[in-house]
Amino acid sequence: MVISQATECAIRALLYMAAYEPGQVVSKRDICQAQEITPGFLIKIMQPLIAGGLVKSYRGVAGGFALAKPIGEINLWDIIVAEEGPILLNKCLITPGYCKRDATCPVHLVWCKSREVLEKTLRQTKLDDLLVDRVVV
């Protein structure tokens, strides 16, 4: 599994925003400059984060983006799922019975367990865990 460039940039942008005071609006220009993201791409990656309730958007001269939740409530799982959709590891995990072999396949349980461990790790990793003394990254 490899996350997309959009997801990687989304994580970097949110970490950058997390270094600011809670609720502070961070300009699009500042995020783009600090994270080397083009304005158009930033808008694209922010859309699913806004829809997912992780980011708020503000228009106008003092506009930009702000985190919609405290940094201790935003985890990597939520960011990745907002950008990528469900993380499955293999198509047999889409729904029970999707693969006719899921009840007999010796690897199916490994995929299930691996996905559970990955989800648990990403859910437990919150933005505040990744900040080092609130230094803007």
Using CA atoms, how far apart are residues 111 and 56, in angstroms rounded to an integer? 35
Q: Which fold has domain 5-130?
A: Arc Repressor Mutant, subunit A (1.10.10)
Does residue 18 register a pLDDT over 70?
A: yes
Which span out of 44-58, 94-108, 121-135 was modeled with the highest average pLDDT? 44-58
Could you give the angle at the alpha carbon of 67 between the alpha carbons of 63 and 69, nearest 5°?
145
Amino acid 96: pLDDT: 82
Compare 101 and 36 and report the one with higher pLDDT: 36
Mean pLDDT of 39-54: 97
Using CA atoms, how far apart are residues 89 and 57, in angstroms rounded to an integer? 32
Amino acid 137: pLDDT: 46
Mean pLDDT of 2-16: 96
Domain boundaries along the sequence of the chain? 5-130
pLDDT tens-digit profile of 63-113? 899 999 999 999 999 999 999 998 888 888 888 888 888 788 889 889 989
Average pLDDT, the chain: 91
Global confidence as pTM: 0.87
Compare 133 and 8 and report the one with higher pLDDT: 8
36: left (phi over 0), alpha (psi -120 to 50) or beta: left
Using CA atoms, how far apart are residues 97 and 17, in angstroms rounded to an integer? 42
